[in-house]
A and B are shown apart, each in its own frame.
Chain A
Amino acid sequence: AQSVTQLDSHVSVSEGTPVLLRCNYSSSYSPSLFWYVQHPNKGLQLLLKYTSAATLVKGINGFEAEFKKSETSFHLTKPSAHMSDAAEYFCVVSRAGGGADGLTFGKGTHLIIQP
């Protein structure tokens, strides 16, 4: 069994300041972890993924996430927020290497960027 908890339903930051979106997971298996972004009325776009290689994962648009097994966390960060980052972000877990279970999504964090 696996689950994902996104600790904040909404995060608001000012443009140019750092972004931190928090995610904790639980998994009976060695997990693969992902962050997806969904802009309003758009589909899901993969930001980055962790698949048991380097624990610090760099993604698109300046985002990165660090896998911390001891804390069962996979928080998403960006040094400087841009207005175009305003969107819904989903932390996702799946069994490593397996498509057999599909993906388990967190509830999402709505990122608001203040000008």
Chain B
Amino acid sequence: DAGVIQSPRHEVTEMGQEVTLRCKPISGHDYLFWYRQTMMRGLELLIYFNNNVPIDDSGMPEDRFSAKMPNASFSTLKIQPSEPRDSAVYFCASRRMGLGYTFGSGTRLTVV
């Protein structure tokens, strides 16, 4: 079991550019979560999916953020256009109902 895999580990981009973060959940897990971690706000839930369907996206900060889960083994979080205040560490996590959460190692995003 390779765990939850996120890519890239680090991303530096210029303001205004599109950024795509990727996540591969653990096989058999039916929930997938995207979190954002900043110094000011701590860890925040952005969106979560159940069986590839978005259930709650109320944590997505604004329309510049979008997330998709085209199949059970892949999800993306896209920011377009990116802004310096989007700089954060973005975590993906997955779980199966009744079992614990497993977090990926995160993507550290820096927007300059």
Interface residues of A in 15-43 (CB under 8 A from B): 34, 36, 41-43
CB distance from B48 to the nearest CB of A (A): 5
Which residues from chain A contact B44 at a C-beta distance below 8 Å?
Answer: 105
Nearest residue (CB) in A for B42 is A107
Residues of chain B lying within 8 A (CB to CB) of residue A97: 97-98
How many residues belonging to A are interface residues under a CB distance threshold of 8 Å?
Answer: 22
Chain B contact residue count (CB 8 A cutoff) = 23
- Chain A 93-112: CB-based contact to B (< 8 A → 1; otherwise 0): 00001111111111110000
Contacts of A101 in B (CB 8 A): 56
**CA distance in complex: A86, B38 (Å):** 19
* Contact mask for chain A residues 30-63; partner B; CB cutoff 8 A; 1 contact, 0 none: 0000101000011111100100000000000000
A positions within 8 Å CB-CB of B: 34, 36, 41-46, 49, 90, 97-108
